[in-house]
C-alpha cells in the first residue's frame, strides 16, 4: 500500500482522543522508454495480478495518448503475457468531471478490481487527476500507478499527491490527497507532445528555478529555446541537448519534492512554488478563451520580476535575463486582461487562501533564492503594473506569447463549441447565479474564491465583497 493509517486511543477527562499518523511510501522511477520490453519493472508489478487495468485519454480534436501509445503498450504487456483491460476516457478540461469519474468507477467495478490491485493511469495531468480521484474514492481508497506523458504531468501534476476534478465551472473543486504506489518518469513521451504543451510546462520549470535552483535557472537560460523547440532533446538530431535536459528535469523534480514533501497537505502557506500563482489563477480564466496555465503564470512571474526590480531585489541585468529567456521561448509577459481591476481583486482573492497574508514569493537578490512579501499596497500594485506595461511596450513592442490560449486538446472540444456553451450559462454553479458574479470576479470564483452575498449582488469593479475558501 502507498499509505497506511494507524492510531492509538487515549483517555481524556471528558472522553477519548484518537491520535494517529498516516505513513506514506511512494516511489518515483526514471525508466525510459517505460513501455520498452527491455524494461521489465512495470510489467513485473502486474505479474502477480495476471492482468492490468489501464486508464488513458483519447481526443476527437487533437493528438492524444491512446491514439499514439496504445499499440506500444499492448505490445509491451503482451510480451510479458499480461492481458490488458482498457478504459479510454475523453480528455480535456470539460471532461474533468463527475461523468468521467463515474465512467472510470464503472470500469473498475465491471472488471472487479481486487483490493490492493493498482490501476495503471497513463496521460497528462488531466487523466492522472481524474483517475487518481476515482482511485482515491473507490472502496474508500484504491491503489494506482502513474505514467505521466506531458511536461506538466512529469514535473508538476505527477510530483504532487493531489487528485481531483472540476465541478461545473469551478476548477478542481472536488479532490483528495491520494498518493500513488509508483510514478514512472519517462521524458521520451515529450517527443510526440505538441510544442505548445512543451512551452506550457516549461513555465513551471522556470518557476521552480527562479526561486529555488540557480543551476537549473542557468541551464534554462543557456538552452531554454532549444529545449522547447526540440522536445527536451527527444526530437531527432537534438540528442546533444539530452544531458542538460536530464539535469533540469531531475533537479527540478528533486527541488519540488524536497520543498513540498514536508507540507503535503499544503497547510504551510509560505510556499516557494507558489511563485507565479498569485494573480494567475484569476487571469487564466478571465479572457473569453482561457489562457494556457503556463502563459498565465508567466505573466504573473514577469510582473513579479518587475516588482522585484522596482524594489531593488533584482538588478537590471537579472531582470533582463528573465525577460530574454521567457520571450525567446514564446511565453506571454503581459495581457490586456491583466489590468488594475484584476490585480486588486486577484490579490484579495489569493490572500483569503493564505490566512489573510499576501505571502508573495519573489526572487531574493539572485535567482534560486526566495523571499515572501506581505506589505504591498494597492497603490504599489497599480504603480508596478504601469511600470511593467511601459517596460514591456518599450522593450518588446508588438510581442505576444505563442499559442497562449487553450486549444481543443486542452479543452476536449473545439473552441467555438466551448464558447457557445460558456455564453449559454446553463452550467453556471449556484454560487455564481445566486450572487450575480460576473467579469473578473467570475474568474476569481471559478479559480477558488467564494462570492459572499451582503446585498446579494457582486458587480464588476466592486471590491471587498469576495472571500476565498481556505
Ligand X SMILES: NC(=O)c1ccc[n+]([C@@H]2O[C@H](COP(=O)([O-])OP(=O)(O)OC[C@H]3O[C@@H](n4cnc5c(N)ncnc54)[C@H](O)[C@@H]3O)[C@@H](O)[C@H]2O)c1
Applying CB under 6 A, the residues found at the interface with ligand X are 57, 59, 62-65, 68, 91, 93, 96, 123-127, 129, 149-150, 152-153, 156-157, 160, 162, 172, 189, 192-193, 197, 409-410
Q: Which residue's CB is nearer to ligand X, number 63 or number 455?
A: 63
User: C-beta of 423: minimal distance to ligand X in Å?
Assistant: 22
**Cell representation of residue 156:** 508538476
Nearer Cβ to ligand X (96/309): 96
How far apart CA 340 and CA 389 sit, in angstroms, is: 11
Least distance (Å) from ligand X to the CB of residue 456? Answer: 31
Between 276 and 309, CB nearer to ligand X: 276
Q: How far is the CB of 158 from ligand X (least distance, A)?
A: 8
CB 193 to ligand X: min, Å:
4
Minimum CB–partner distance for residue 58 and ligand X (Å): 7
User: Which CB atom, from 125 or from 233, has the smaller least distance to ligand X?
Assistant: 125
Closest by CA to 422, choosing from 171, 61, 169, is 169
Nearest CB to ligand X, comparing residues 200 and 384: 200
Q: Quote the CA–CA distance of 51 and 82 in Å, as a whole number.
A: 5
Kindly tell me the burial class for residue 255, based on how many C-beta atoms sit within 10 Å of its own C-beta (0-12, 13-18, 19 or more): buried
Shortest reach from residue 114's CB to ligand X, in Å? 26
Closest C-alpha among 257, 245, 268, 278 to residue 208? 257
Q: Which residue, 62 or 348, has its beta carbon nearer to ligand X?
A: 62
Closer to ligand X at the Cβ: 113 or 159?
159
The DSSP string of 415-459 is HHHHHHHHHH-TT--HHHHHHT--HHHHHHHHHTEEE--TTS---
C-alpha cell of 332?
506571454
Strand partners, 123: 148
For residues 424 and 416, the answer to whether their CB atoms sit within 8 Å is no
What is the DSSP code (8-state) at residue 148?
E
Among 262, 39, 292, residue whose Cα is nearest residue 151 = 292
Where are the strands (E) in 128-211, listed by range? 144-148, 162-167, 170-177, 182-185
C-alpha cell belonging to residue 86: 482498457
- The least CB distance from residue 242 to ligand X, in Å, is 17
Amino acid at each position: 500500500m502507498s499509505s497506511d493509517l494507524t492510531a492509538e486511543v487515549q483517555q481524556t477527562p471528558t472522553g477519548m482522543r484518537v491520535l494517529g499518523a498516516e505513513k506514506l511510501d511512494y516511489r518515483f522511477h526514471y525508466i525510459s522508454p517505460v513501455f520498452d520490453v527491455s524494461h521489465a519493472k512495470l510489467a513485473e508489478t502486474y505479474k502477480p495480478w495476471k492482468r492490468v487495468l489501464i486508464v488513458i485519454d483519447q481526443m476527437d480534436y487533437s493528438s492524444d495518448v491512446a491514439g499514439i501509445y496504445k499499440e506500444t503498450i499492448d505490445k509491451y504487456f503482451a510480451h510479458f503475457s499480461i492481458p490488458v483491460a482498457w478504459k479510454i476516457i475523453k480528455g480535456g478540461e470539460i471532461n474533468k468531471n463527475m461523468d468521467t469519474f463515474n465512467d472510470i468507477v464503472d470500469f473498475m467495478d465491471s472488471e472487479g478490481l481486487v483490493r490492493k490491485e493498482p490501476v495503471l493511469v497513463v496521460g497528462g495531468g488531466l487523466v492522472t487527476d481524474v483517475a487518481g480521484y476515482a482511485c482515491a474514492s473507490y472502496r474508500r481508497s484504491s491503489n494506482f500507478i502513474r505514467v505521466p506523458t506531458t511536461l506538466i504531468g512529469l514535473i508538476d501534476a505527477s510530483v504532487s499527491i493531489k487528485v481531483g476534478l472540476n465541478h461545473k465551472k469551478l476548477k478542481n473543486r472536488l479532490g483528495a490527497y491520494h498518493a500513488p504506489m509508483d510514478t514512472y518518469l519517462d521524458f521520451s513521451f515529450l517527443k510526440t507532445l505538441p510544442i505548445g504543451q512543451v512551452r506550457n510546462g516549461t513555465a513551471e520549470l522556470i518557476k521552480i528555478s527562479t526561486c529555488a535552483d540557480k543551476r537549473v535557472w542557468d541551464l534554462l537560460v543557456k538552452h531554454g529555446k532549444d529545449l522547447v523547440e526540440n522536445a527536451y532533446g527527444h526530437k531527432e538530431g537534438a540528442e546533444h541537448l539530452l544531458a542538460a535536459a536530464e539535469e533540469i528535469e531531475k533537479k527540478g523534480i528533486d527541488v519540488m519534492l524536497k520543498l513540498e514533501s514536508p507540507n503535503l497537505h499544503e497547510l504551510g502557506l509560505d510556499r516557494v512554488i507558489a511563485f507565479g500563482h498569485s494573480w494567475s489563477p484569476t487571469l487564466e480564466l478571465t479572457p473569453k478563451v482561457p489562457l494556457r496555465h503556463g502563459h498565465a503564470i508567466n505573466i504573473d512571474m514577469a510582473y513579479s520580476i518587475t516588482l522585484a526590480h522596482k524594489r531593488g531585489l533584482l538588478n537590471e541585468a537579472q531582470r533582463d535575463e528573465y525577460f530574454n529567456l521567457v520571450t525567446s521561448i514564446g511565453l506571454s509577459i503581459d495581457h490586456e486582461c491583466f489590468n488594475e481591476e484584476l490585480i486588486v481583486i486577484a490579490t484579495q482573492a489569493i490572500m483569503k487562501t493564505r490566512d489573510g497574508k499576501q505571502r508573495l514569493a519573489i526572487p531574493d537578490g539572485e535567482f534560486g533564492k526566495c523571499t515572501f512579501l506581505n506589505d504591498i499596497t494597492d497603490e504599489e500594485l497599480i504603480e508596478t503594473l504601469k511600470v511593467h506595461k511601459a517596460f514591456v511596450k518599450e522593450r518588446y513592442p508588438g510581442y505576444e506569447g505563442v499559442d497562449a490560449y487553450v486549444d481543443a486538446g486542452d479543452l476536449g472540444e473545439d473552441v467555438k463549441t466551448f464558447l457557445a456553451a460558456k455564453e449559454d450559462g446553463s452550467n453556471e454553479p449556484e454560487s455564481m447565479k445566486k450572487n450575480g458574479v460576473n467579469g473578473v470576479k467570475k474568474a476569481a470564483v471559478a479559480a477558488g474564491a467564494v462570492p459572499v452575498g451582503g446585498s446579494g449582488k457582486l458587480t464588476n469593479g466592486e471590491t471587498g465583497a469576495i472571500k476565498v475558501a481556505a
